């Protein structure tokens, strides 16, 4: 596969993941949990783009490699993962050490170090939300896709569509995108996927990957695993420990009573690169 590489500059560790060193370990845990929780939503998308029979696949913004692992499991082809963060690639190398069909590189997605028309499938997951220049990145992803090949953004959230009941206006505002925005992410990336893909010249289909509403046990288990994240986000938004404790008590109570409803749209986009692009 190295024949495809134009130039692989060794980059210093760029903090593309937008997390401090202290938060990094928790972030890796969260990515692992998210990969597990979203596996059933990503699988039909992988099948739809023809992952099984693809010869070569690029996973852009592969992070710690937990999603790359799912991809490598499903295909007989070669999988290349790139991420702008050297720390992430180190973790991914460890997670994927037994996978002979995977190669990993540190690279910015704004200048992907592969020739035009190289890959059958170029994919990414929970990625565009954190990208500074998404149009430049999707254009690059399209460039390295073969004519007739597919570009897939598997899950990109839109916090503007986050619904839940019973509500807590003060806390809900933090999780309706404020916390993501403060970290440099785009909480409304989901609704922008169509525009990004179409502008890149792709024949585009968008949809919502998570059309199942979780039951309260699932919500509780997710919350307890990711609790540190929630608490940090609330502290970061200026809430006192007392306010956080009170909210947590009420939230867990509503889950234990089985009355809480949560829905959070995760958009996907599939783009086919036209033969003449
Ligand atoms: C939320 S993580 C998702 C990782 C992985 N796809 C997953 O679903 O577990 C986003 C990743 O995108 C990477 N990233 C953000 N902007 C990037 C860019 N411009 N080029 C390369 N990687 C980038 C970050 O370093 C981070 O690892």
3-class SS of residue 9? coil
What pLDDT, in 10s, does the model give residues 122-133?
A: 999 999 999 999
pTM of the predicted model, to two decimals? 0.90
Q: How far is the CA of 67 from the centre of ligand 1 (A)?
A: 11
Higher pLDDT, 137 or 175: 137
- Domain containing residue 138: CATH number: 3.40.50.150
pLDDT at 242 over 50: yes
Count of domains for the chain: 1
Answer whether 68 contacts ligand 1 (Cβ < 6 A). Answer: no
pLDDT at 1: 44
What pLDDT, in 10s, does the model give residues 192-231?
A: 999 999 999 999 999 999 988 999 999 999 899 888 888 9
Answer whether 31 contacts ligand 1 (Cβ < 6 A). Answer: yes
The mean per-residue pLDDT over the stretch 105-131 comes to: 97
Q: How far is the CA of 265 from the centre of ligand 1 (A)?
A: 20
Answer whether 175 contacts ligand 1 (Cβ < 6 A). Answer: no
Q: How far is the CA of 242 from the centre of ligand 1 (A)?
A: 34
Answer whether 81 contacts ligand 1 (Cβ < 6 A). Answer: no
Answer whether 134 contacts ligand 1 (Cβ < 6 A). Answer: no
Does residue 39 lie within any of the structural domains?
yes
9 band by pLDDT with thresholds 50, 70 and 90: very low
Q: How far is the CA of 142 from the centre of ligand 1 (A)?
A: 17
Query: What domain range is 98 assigned to?
Result: 2-158+186-213+264-272
pLDDT at 6: 43
Does residue 140 lie within any of the structural domains?
yes
Answer whether 63 contacts ligand 1 (Cβ < 6 A). Answer: yes
Distant-in-sequence contacts of 248-255, Cβ < 8 A, 24+ apart: 250/166, 250/168, 251/168, 251/223, 252/220, 252/223, 254/166, 254/216, 255/216, 255/217, 255/219, 255/220, 255/223
pLDDT at 4 over 60: no
3-class SS of residue 106? strand
Does residue 171 lie within any of the structural domains?
no
Does residue 248 lie within any of the structural domains?
no
What pLDDT, in 10s, does the model give residues 135-159?
A: 999 999 999 999 999 999 999 999 9
pLDDT at 68 over 80: yes
Does residue 113 lie within any of the structural domains?
yes
Q: Indicate the top mutation candidate among 14, 42, 63, 210 to test ligand 1's pocket, ranked by most ligand atoms within 8 A of CB.
A: 63
Does residue 63 lie within any of the structural domains?
yes
């Amino acid at each position: 596969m190295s024949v495809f590489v134009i130039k692989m500059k060794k980059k210093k560790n760029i903090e593309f993941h937008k997390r401090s060193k202290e938060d990094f370990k928790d972030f890796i845990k969260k990515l692992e949990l998210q990969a597990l929780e979203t596996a059933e939503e990503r699988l039909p998308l992988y099948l739809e783009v023809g992952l099984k029979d693809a010869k070569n696949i690029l996973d852009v913004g592969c992070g710690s490699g937990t999603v790359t692992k799912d991809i490598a499991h499903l295909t007989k082809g070669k999988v290349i993962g790139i991420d702008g963060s050297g720390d992430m690639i180190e973790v991914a190398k460890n997670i994927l050490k037994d996978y002979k069909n995977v190669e990993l590189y540190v690279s910015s997605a704004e200048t992907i170090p592969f020739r035009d028309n190289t890959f059958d499938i170029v994919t990414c997951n929970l990625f565009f939300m954190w990208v500074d220049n998404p149009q430049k990145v999707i254009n690059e992803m399209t460039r390295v896709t073969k004519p007739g090949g597919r570009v897939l953004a598997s899950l990109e959230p839109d916090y503007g569509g986050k619904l839940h009941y019973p509500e807590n206006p003060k806390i809900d505002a933090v999780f309706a995108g404020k916390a993501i925005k403060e970290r440099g992410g785009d909480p409304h990336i989901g609704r922008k996927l169509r525009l990004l893909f179409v502008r890149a010249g792709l024949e585009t289909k968008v949809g919502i990957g998570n059309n199942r509403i979780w039951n309260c046990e699932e919500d509780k288990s997710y919350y307890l695993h990711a609790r540190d994240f929630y608490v940090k986000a609330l502290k970061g938004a200026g809430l006192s420990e007392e306010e956080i404790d009170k909210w947590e008590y009420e939230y867990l109570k509503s889950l234990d009573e089985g009355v809480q409803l949560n829905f959070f749209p995760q958009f996907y986009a599939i783009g086919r690169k036209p033969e003449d692009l």
